[in-house]
A and B are shown apart, each in its own frame.
Chain A
């Protein structure tokens, strides 16, 4: 299909995908040579070798320390390779933003929207990787596989974000979802993790099935898989086309975890290890909504009044129910999971209004969300007590006294998540609600802001615990420099963009310009 007019410049379209895929391959190869799984060998050696005294013990301990060091270096090496791959993808996307749009393949396209989407997801993924480097040893996930799976998942995500064809979209989403399930299951020792992986997998497969059925129906109604063809031939008066549309959007809503298709998401977040939960709730969720946005813009004609009630109901239900459910959670990861749903609800509301203002607000909100969510998950990840993560709200009690910096950062992320001024979250909410107001949807705007007040209450539970309650006796351990670095970066950016959001506006502006040129609306 994509053969005609294929020049070198068209290969650029494939470059982000190629970059991450190559990165994944090289990581797998490298780990064959160097790493192997982070076995407990050193620990065992130390334990058994503890008997003979004196010199031998010292040497053994030395060897253990050395092995530890080597492993750490390999870990960092692999993480750097992954980062380089992501940077490559992001760089190509960024360069594409500055250059005028050219022709792509028929199947994939690297236009403004795709480039901005890839940038957003790649950025989040980089942060996820550096957040989780030091966690891999303790949860005993093999490094190589971990990084490779993350990168492969991103390859799927990039395909979905660049797709110009329904089958390609499906393939991309499928690759992404599968890699997330495998990642969740990689932590073999933990029962919860397996359960979460299974739940995530089943929900994802079901969603994919529904999505595929929708694509099939659409094909039956219009005879097209490609977005352009669909857009020109889609006829909302055809029942088959409508059914296909409903199934397609149902699939997306399931993947996004919108109410009423939400139940898998909090379970997944609670069960999966924190770094995987962070990966899914940022990279995966953001990719799904961006791919959905792409479908709405490129594959469908303007269906405004037809779809507005659907999106309104999905969005309002998600905001209301997810916030209410988050109120009663005592597990911070699960609570964050519900908040993810509430946020997705707010994003979907922008589909009701449509147009450049709303989609610009969506892009802005996604960037802000990625930073803030990663920060929040990062803090949860960093607070380890006695070898396990501190997940329950009670575990946060009095943290402010022993870990001042972390507590302050967590407070910042929580405030940002609820949209308090001084953080980037405020502007994200401002844009979202502003778009709703501009579109004349007062009721939705009020629901969104009231939802944000409830979110504020929910989010404030964590600082309340940290600052206002007495300390538990359990002392949390030290956190690694990588984690702290990423968290600090997030915090600085959250505040910086909160005071000066102009750079984001610029990115959004470039994306929107092309988005408007490319789309028909």
Chain B
């Protein structure tokens, strides 16, 4: 039933929206706009552009997949599980689709709470503690975002006299869109929180927690490891992308000055999280925790791309969300399959799996390659774009990031070799069944897009680029002219896809 309806959603979206989407057009398409609570400035305002379209595809794809994957896993009250799963799906779709800040916030919180229940009810041994940790971390971030939204509401009300929280004013609404609102940089000690910096911090904290970025990550490996396979696949594929998406959609275009001022700090934090997570990934004994740190490394790359303030970097970040969602979800499903067979995830328990489970090993290899960015996978496209942009904005950061990436790749290679090749060390592994057709199908559904993006990213990039250009345009339009404008500021957004040559 649930599988049917969620697959139907996916197919409907795939055929309907993708066909209707016009890649050449800038701006929003398929806008749906309805009054919900005009007094609060909450409108039901959803639309699609190049940035969220693929994330929505990912979301609608993931849910039937995890349903298929966890068919037998969930022994306890399957019905409630599917209920929370579908609530989560709708909330995530809402997050990706909303062009109203408060609507976004509402969906955001619903997504967190439904994920909390999924971890807490169906998770592993320490589920309650870890679900709570998850909820506290993300909850604090999200309520601070709520305060920032209230401040935005005030600012817009004071400026225009009408309540409105739409990003872009729609015909018929009185209040201007937030993207047309002038928000001063304000450095007054008393009213700093009404300026860009305060608001940006309010938003960015929520996003950084979900990304996750060092030092706000401590909930993540725990929560991911203890969530049921379906829950952690959804968390890695969708929940984590919510943070990156929020940055692109809201934080960067709304507060460009603050974002630019804070960019160096954030980039350093991203580098630290790449290095830190890489080291942690190396020392993990639990396969799922390794995957968690891997996702965190990728979060670092995404953030580097987004804050390079180049169009290229933004495109890279958007591709990165997609690539990370696909590859980490595939890894988690693979680990879940192994866990289902052996009831353990300890790396030491495995070795030489290539003999009993060749298909698993091949799939694992491809997913890992995508996760570390080996050419011909989606990870490569994204890291290439993000790193090029980073190099352009600061060479030493680019070098550091590359080194981090190489280091991590080396570590993972070590892990993979231990698990997959060599002699079979543990006797009980010898008789393991390889993955069956059901499992192969759902993995292929993730791996085919990975390879496709890796080999032929053009259709994807062509659809993403106009929307990213739009974001860049908003950023540069809203940026306050700097007092010493003769000194050329960092050339923002000049590095486009076209600079990479005709090949793209």
Which A residues fall within an 8 A CB radius of B?
A: 401, 415, 420-422, 426-427, 430, 433-434, 437-438, 440, 442, 445-446, 449-450, 452-453, 456-457, 460, 463-464, 467-468, 500-502, 505
Residue B150 interfacial (CB < 8 Å): yes
A126 to B128: give the CA distance in the assembly, Å.
Answer: 38
Least CB separation from B142: chain A residue: A453
Interface pair B146/A433, CB less than 8 Å apart: yes
Across the interface, which residues of B come within 8 angstroms of A464, CB to CB? 120, 128, 131-132
Across the interface, which residues of B come within 8 angstroms of A415, CB to CB? 113
Across the interface, which residues of B come within 8 angstroms of A468, CB to CB? 120-121, 127-128, 131
Residue B109 interfacial (CB < 8 Å): yes
Across the interface, which residues of B come within 8 angstroms of A430, CB to CB? 40, 146, 150
Comparing B133-141, B286-294, B373-381, the segment that makes contact with chain A is B133-141
Across the interface, which residues of B come within 8 angstroms of A460, CB to CB? 116, 132, 135
A440 to B193: give the CA distance in the assembly, Å.
Answer: 10
Task: Specify which of B39, B113, B191 is in contact with A505 (CB 8 Å cutoff).
Answer: B39
Least CB separation from B127: chain A residue: A468
Given A420-B113, A456-B139, 12 extra CB contacts under 8 A: A415-B113, A421-B110, A426-B109, A437-B147, A437-B154, A438-B154, A445-B150, A453-B136, A460-B132, A468-B121, A468-B128, A501-B37
A440 to B131: give the CA distance in the assembly, Å.
Answer: 34
A-B contact pairs, 14 of them (CB 8 A): A415-B113, A434-B153, A438-B150, A442-B193, A446-B147, A450-B140, A450-B143, A452-B143, A460-B116, A467-B117, A468-B120, A468-B121, A500-B37, A501-B37
Residue B106 interfacial (CB < 8 Å): yes
Interface pair B150/A437, CB less than 8 Å apart: yes
Residue B151 interfacial (CB < 8 Å): yes
Closest approach, in angstroms, between the C-beta of A452 and any C-beta of chain B?
A: 6
Interface pair B109/A420, CB less than 8 Å apart: yes
Across the interface, which residues of A come within 8 angstroms of B113, CB to CB? 415, 420
Task: Count B-side interface residues using an 8 Å CB cutoff.
Answer: 33
Interface pair A453/B121, CB less than 8 Å apart: no
Least CB separation from A438: chain B residue: B154
A75 to B110: give the CA distance in the assembly, Å.
Answer: 42
Which B residues fall within an 8 A CB radius of A?
A: 37, 39-40, 77, 80, 105-107, 109-110, 113, 116-117, 120-121, 127-128, 131-132, 135-136, 139-140, 143-144, 146-147, 150-151, 153-154, 191, 193
A434 with B120: in contact, given A450-B143, A468-B127 (CB under 8 Å)? no
Interface pair A433/B39, CB less than 8 Å apart: no
Across the interface, which residues of B come within 8 angstroms of A426, CB to CB? 106, 109
Closest approach, in angstroms, between the C-beta of B121 and any C-beta of chain A?
A: 5
Across the interface, which residues of A come within 8 angstroms of B191, CB to CB? 440
Across the interface, which residues of B come within 8 angstroms of A453, CB to CB? 136, 139-140, 143
Least CB separation from B116: chain A residue: A460
What 4 A-B pairs are tightest by C-beta distance, nearest first? Answer: A449-B143, A421-B106, A437-B150, A453-B139
Interface pair A467/B120, CB less than 8 Å apart: yes
Least CB separation from A464: chain B residue: B128
Interface pair A502/B39, CB less than 8 Å apart: yes
A415 to B131: give the CA distance in the assembly, Å.
Answer: 15
Closest approach, in angstroms, between the C-beta of B201 and any C-beta of chain A?
A: 12
Across the interface, which residues of B come within 8 angstroms of A433, CB to CB? 146-147, 150
Closest approach, in angstroms, between the C-beta of B150 and any C-beta of chain A?
A: 4
A11 to B305: give the CA distance in the assembly, Å.
Answer: 73
Interface pair B147/A445, CB less than 8 Å apart: yes
A467 to B83: give the CA distance in the assembly, Å.
Answer: 14
Closest approach, in angstroms, between the C-beta of A365 and any C-beta of chain B?
A: 15
A468 to B116: give the CA distance in the assembly, Å.
Answer: 11
Closest approach, in angstroms, between the C-beta of A456 and any C-beta of chain B?
A: 6
Most buried by A among B106, B139, B140: B139
A457 with B154: in contact, given A452-B143, A464-B128 (CB under 8 Å)? no
Across the interface, which residues of A come within 8 angstroms of B105, CB to CB? 421
A464 to B127: give the CA distance in the assembly, Å.
Answer: 10
Interface pair B39/A457, CB less than 8 Å apart: no
Interface pair A457/B136, CB less than 8 Å apart: yes
Interface pair A422/B106, CB less than 8 Å apart: yes
Least CB separation from B103: chain A residue: A421
A433 to B144: give the CA distance in the assembly, Å.
Answer: 11
Task: Specify which of A449, A463, A502 is in contact with B146 (CB 8 Å cutoff).
Answer: A449
Across the interface, which residues of A come within 8 angstroms of B151, CB to CB? 437
Across the interface, which residues of A come within 8 angstroms of B39, CB to CB? 502, 505
Closest approach, in angstroms, between the C-beta of A416 and any C-beta of chain B?
A: 12
Across the interface, which residues of B come within 8 angstroms of A401, CB to CB? 77
A449 with B147: in contact, given A421-B106, A464-B128 (CB under 8 Å)? yes
A422 to B111: give the CA distance in the assembly, Å.
Answer: 11
Across the interface, which residues of A come within 8 angstroms of B143, CB to CB? 449-450, 452-453
Across the interface, which residues of B come within 8 angstroms of A502, CB to CB? 37, 39
Task: Specify which of B109, B135, B139, B154 is in contact with A421 (CB 8 Å cutoff).
Answer: B109
Across the interface, which residues of A come within 8 angstroms of B150, CB to CB? 430, 433-434, 437-438, 445
A457 with B135: in contact, given A426-B106, A437-B154 (CB under 8 Å)? yes
Across the interface, which residues of A come within 8 angstroms of B140, CB to CB? 450, 453
Closest approach, in angstroms, between the C-beta of B110 and any C-beta of chain A?
A: 6
A420 to B131: give the CA distance in the assembly, Å.
Answer: 16
Interface pair A456/B135, CB less than 8 Å apart: yes
Closest approach, in angstroms, between the C-beta of B200 and any C-beta of chain A?
A: 15
Across the interface, which residues of A come within 8 angstroms of B80, CB to CB? 467
